[in-house]
Structure 1
Amino acid sequence: MTGATRGIGREVVAQLVAAGHEVLLGARDRAAGDRAAAAIGAEVVELDVTDDASVARAAQMVRRRGGLDVLVNNAGVPGHACDATEIDAATIRAVFETNVFGVVRTMHAFAGLLRASAQPVVVNVSSGLGSIAAAVDPDAHVDTVPVWVPALHYGASKAALNMLTVQYARACPWMRINAVDPGFTATDFNDHRGTRSVADAARVVVDLATIGFDGPTATFTGDHGTVPW
């Protein structure tokens, strides 16, 4: 699992470990990863999704351990909030580097391991802010659009992640891959302004991470079911 030292990521790892799964906790900061993994009972893997070499080393480590059945792409950054007209290409690129290209890096590096699994599953942690349907008609989807809304680059990155999810599902029918909206959760990500607990948010991710091959693919799911694309 990428981005798992705190917040929703850490709680997902904790719930999976509690359910009896063997979990690798992905951490960009090794020291923070060691602390989180020791507290939860997981194993840390150093992994920076913005660094090709780091992702390749992580995949090699997982290969040496014996394989991978489930990949949860959780690492993400919000970007700083500012007026849309003040955002330049470099600002958007920085957010996409983690939220979009980071997922492509992990998918590329771990594809062989997933293909070797009997029931490969991928969960991409997205956001209701990536819903184009909600963006054009927020009154119709008030549960997917929180009061806290960062600059446009975050929503655009999650919309791109949603499309990646669908395209990977179409190209790779041998795996189950879905996008998940954990909801507006109180974490460091939003200065704890969220209205959901990390435990509730993590359960949505865990549910999709533990499906079998008869489970859904190419879906966008939240706590109350399907989220509009």
Structure 2
Amino acid sequence: MTTTLITGANRSLGLETTRRLIEAGHTVYAGMRDPDTGDAARDLGAHVVALDVTDQASVDAAIAALPELDVLVNNAGILGTVLTTDGLDADEMRTVLETNVVGLVRVTQAALPLLERSANPVIVNVASGVGSPRLLSTPGTDEHPVPAIPYAASKAAVIALTVQYAKNLPGMRVNASDPGYTATDFNGHSGHQTTTEGTDATVALATIGQDGPTGEFHNRHGRIEY
């Protein structure tokens, strides 16, 4: 049985990833800041664990509660409350980076000892095409009109972290997924993809074998060039 931890698993993409990986036969631990919001995950058969990626003690307690770990899906992330240069300051940037980047590192580092015991350790970092300078600067892409500064910077960092973790951990498969423009609370459900389509890449990367890719960035159609 494959044991999987998903952060930010109480709703939207995290909850759908939980559903699909349970359907694929994984034992899923659904991490979320407030376990009281986890009824939907429990109904799917997930084990709900309190996990706030911005709190080291919370992360350590969540990891300690796991009997083993084969797959880590770093899904937790925030958009932030200030998107453009209007009102943007260092505190706002720090808040977004603390969850989306530092939080990812905090969870990954805590999980590594368990992952190293797995016969097929896998890490999937949920990034975004908004983290790709190429897509952000190409007219006609979904990413080009997006003004968000902190969020884009954080997801660019997630992509770079993925590459560097993959190089440092050759025995693991470490990849980043791009959900694409998916209808979620993030965008007022304006996206043109369903949450199932938005989790295609994450689920595919979470179920790869030892011969699978590593250090790559994928959307539901395949590999994305950075």
CA-to-partner distance for each residue in 1:36-94, whole Å, 9 max, x for gaps? 222211111110000000000011001xx2x1000000000001244325311111000
Change (3 A) 1:162 1:212: same
Gaps of 5+ in 1: none
Q: How does 1:1-229 map to 2 (within 5 A)?
A: 1-33=6-38, 35-62=39-66, 65=67, 67-84=68-85, 86-135=87-136, 137-139=137-139, 142-145=140-143, 147=145, 149-229=146-226
Write the letter of the residue equivalent to 1:132.
Answer: P
CA distance in 2, matches of 1:117, 1:38: 25
CA distance in 2, matches of 1:102, 1:183: 22
SS at match of 1:56: helix
Retained in 2: the 8 A contact 1:3–1:28? Answer: yes
Change (3 A) 1:116 1:154: same
SS at match of 2:199: helix
Gaps of 5+ in 2: 1-5
Change (3 A) 1:3 1:44: same
Q: Give the stretch that moved more between structures: 217-226 or 156-165.
A: 217-226
What TM-score results when the alignment is normalised by the length of structure 1?
A: 0.93
Larger RCO, structures 1/2 (Cα 8 Å, 6+ apart): 1
Write the letter of the residue equivalent to 1:41.
Answer: G
CA distance in 2, matches of 1:88, 1:204: 33
Change (3 A) 1:42 1:150: farther
More helix by share: 1
What TM-score results when the alignment is normalised by the length of structure 2?
A: 0.94
What CA RMSD, in Å, does the superposition of the two structures yield over aligned residues?
Answer: 1.3
The Cα of 1:161 is off from its aligned counterpart by 0.7
What is the number of residues matched between the two proteins?
A: 221
Identity percentage of aligned residues? 49
The Cα of 1:192 is off from its aligned counterpart by 0.7
CA-to-partner distance for each residue in 1:76-134, whole Å, 9 max, x for gaps? 00012443253111110000010000100011100100111011000000000000122
SS at match of 1:138: coil
CA-to-partner distance for each residue in 1:137-190, whole Å, 9 max, x for gaps? 313xx445165x252010000001111100000111010000100101101111
Retained in 2: the 8 A contact 1:123–1:177? Answer: yes
